[in-house]
Amino acid sequence: MSETEALQARLVGDIEAAGDLDAIEALRVGALGKAGTVTGLLKTLGGMTPDERQVEGPKIHALRETVTAAIAARKAALEGAALEAKLAGEKLDMTLPATDAPKGSVHPVSQVMDELAEIFADMGFAVATGPEIEDDWRNFTALNIPETHPARAMHDTFYFPDKDAEGRAMLLRTHTSPVQIRTMMSQEPPIRIIAPGRVYRSDSDATHTPMFHQVEGLVIDRGIHMGHLKWTLETFLKAYFERDDIVLRLRPSYFPFTEPSAEVDVGYKQERGRRVVGGNGDDEGHAWMELLGSGMVNRRVIANCGLDPDVWQGFAFGVGVDRLAMLKYGMDDLRAFFDGDLRWLSHYGFGALSVPTLSGGISA
Ligand code: DAH
């Protein structure tokens, strides 16, 4: 056996016997590294006569190829075995029952927003959204609340220190009404939307939190009048509270963005320390409670959005989502909505599968 053949037999034997990847690496360095045995043989080619090289060259190159291939094969085998061992140790039986009941729940605000979307979708309303960081033109000016208007001060607005590129003051929207502006400016009438979302005011007590939720409604079409508004609100509230004896009282009021404006009261009864919506507020044992703001969209607002108020009319309304949730599901402290207390969430939260549908029951 030649020296080359002997070296090959020894190296291949060692490689096949290598027990782990570290041993393989050591063998590779020992044979093919800078000072390796095979590398050493390759270097001897330089000192050979052309005739010797003709004979020895192919043998040494073949040796290098054999050793390289043996290393690759052993490495693949060791890695495969390691993977097999890992997989065997990580066995997971997907048919076993879950050891823990699901812990998460859907927040009542999310649930109520889903209920609203379902109810209004049935009446042909789409859901629209807008950013929580607004400019003062969309939040106030376009809604007919000019700079000097007392309503601006009443909103307890959070302003940002810097203005936007157009020089408009930036703020956290104080109501969802700017979505009316965004919708009218980007969409051709007829328009039927609701816009649920977060709003912000610098205000905090048992019934006010700096962030809360509203839903805005907007209809723009030809020949819209207050009868449409009243029917829509009545249909919505009957579906939401899941009772037919909802009685509304429209009280003349003032909002800069509607003319005429109406505050909407709903009849209720006090039962076991809780307000239960339903019945005529003037009936024995009943009273009225203010629930939402509404009105016919002010001609100026329609014109501000580039529409002709002689052609297009509409109504709008705005209502607190948290308030709706409290009334329907019986919570009495708004602050608890945003505490993130797991006991509260598991008590008042909803299962991920209780999706509100008109056919299956809105509160599932
Ligand atoms: N934007 C009003 C608020 O936050 C609520 C409101 C009142 C919205 C009347 C309306 C409306 O669309 O017509 O106090």
Instruction: Establish whether residue 177 lines the binding site of ligand 1, counting it when its CB lies within 6 angstroms of any ligand atom.
Output: yes
Q: Which of 134, 143, 175, 203 to mutate to test the pocket of ligand 1 (most atoms within 8 A of CB)?
A: 175
pTM recorded for the entire structure? 0.73
Q: How far is the CA of 107 from the centre of ligand 1 (A)?
A: 24
Q: Which contacts of 55-62 are long-range, i.e. CB under 8 A and separated by 24 or more positions?
A: 56/4, 59/2, 59/4, 60/4
Report pLDDT for 98.
75
DSSP E strands, the chain: 126-127, 133-135, 159-163, 169-172, 191-200, 211-221, 248-255, 258-271, 274-277, 286-297, 313-320
Mean pLDDT by 10 residues, the chain (364 residues): 86 92 93 92 89 89 93 93 90 80 87 96 97 96 89 81 91 97 97 98 85 97 97 97 96 96 97 93 96 98 97 97 95 90 93 81 69
Domain spans of the chain, in order of start: 3-89, 108-348
Q: Which of 138, 171, 255 to mutate to test the pocket of ligand 1 (most atoms within 8 A of CB)?
A: 255
Whole-angstrom Cα distance, residue 173 to residue 177?
9
Residue 176 CA, closest ligand 1 atom number: 1
Q: Apex CA 123: angle with CA 258 and CA 310, to 5°?
A: 35
Whole-angstrom Cα distance, residue 325 to residue 332?
10
Report pLDDT for 304.
97
Report pLDDT for 104.
85
DSSP E strands, 152-285: 159-163, 169-172, 191-200, 211-221, 248-255, 258-271, 274-277
Q: Measuring from atom 5 of ligand 1, which residue has the nearest CA?
A: 318
Instruction: Establish whether residue 298 lines the binding site of ligand 1, counting it when its CB lies within 6 angstroms of any ligand atom.
Output: no
In CATH, the number for domain 108-348 is 3.30.930.10
Q: What is the dihedral of CA 129, 135, 136, 138, to 10 degrees?
A: -40
Instruction: Establish whether residue 314 lines the binding site of ligand 1, counting it when its CB lies within 6 angstroms of any ligand atom.
Output: no
Q: Which of 177, 226, 313, 319 to mutate to test the pocket of ligand 1 (most atoms within 8 A of CB)?
A: 177
Structure tokens given for 82: 């390691």
Instruction: Establish whether residue 315 lines the binding site of ligand 1, counting it when its CB lies within 6 angstroms of any ligand atom.
Output: no
Report pLDDT for 93.
83
Please state whether 56 falls in left (phi above 0), alpha (psi between -120 and 50) or beta.
Answer: alpha
Q: Which of 145, 257, 315, 324 to mutate to test the pocket of ligand 1 (most atoms within 8 A of CB)?
A: 257
Q: Measuring from atom 8 of ligand 1, which residue has the nearest CA?
A: 318
Report pLDDT for 299.
97
Residue 217 CA, closest ligand 1 atom number: 12
